[in-house]
Amino acid sequence: MKKILVPIDGSPNSIRGLEKAIEFASNDNYSITILHVATLPPVHIIGHSKDKVKKSLAKKSQKFIKDAEDRCINQSIPFTTKLVYGSDPAYDIEQFAKKYKHDLIVIGAKGKSTLKRLFLGSVSSYLVETTKTPVTVIK
């Protein structure tokens, strides 16, 4: 079975990416990995224990991760969900795809970024330029 990696961040574009991945998976023998990279702030900024920050980030992502899982369930698409903590989502996604040998990455063109105006689509651009895994970018 081939594997599609779908990074999500709760943005409308990431959900469109998931919908396209579900379409691909329903036409072929694919499974989907729903991946959320929770970005940890630098250690000197945190002010709380790392575990407390991780719990808070996981809680904030629960709703859109559950929504993504429900979309796969409703279409009878096999899936797994992964929540990873990192500092550079683009790099973390690339490494995850490589480590777990995904056949395709389907990602929304723009996500939720605190620097959205400066780096519009920076994660998808990075993946297109650097990863050896094929990438489909959804607008």
Overall domain count for the chain: 1
Q: In this predicted model, what pLDDT tens digit does every residue of 40-92 receive, in sequence order?
A: 877 655 566 778 888 989 999 999 999 999 999 999 999 999 999 998 999 99
Q: Report the pLDDT averaged over residues 106-126.
A: 68
- Whether the pTM exceeds 0.85: the reply is yes
Domain that holds residue 107: 2-138
What is the pLDDT at residue 113? 54
Q: In this predicted model, what pLDDT tens digit does every residue of 22-38 receive, in sequence order?
A: 999 999 889 999 999 99
What is the pLDDT at residue 121? 65
Burial of 128 (0-12, 13-18, 19+ CB in 10 A): middle
What is the pLDDT at residue 119? 42
Both structure tokens of 134:
């094929």
Does residue 134 register a pLDDT over 80?
yes
CATH of the domain at 22: 3.40.50.620
C-alpha neighbours within 13 Å on the C-beta side of residue 21? 37
Starting at the edge strand that comes first in sequence, how are the strands of the sheet with 79-86 ordered? 79-86, 30-39, 2-7, 104-108, 135-138
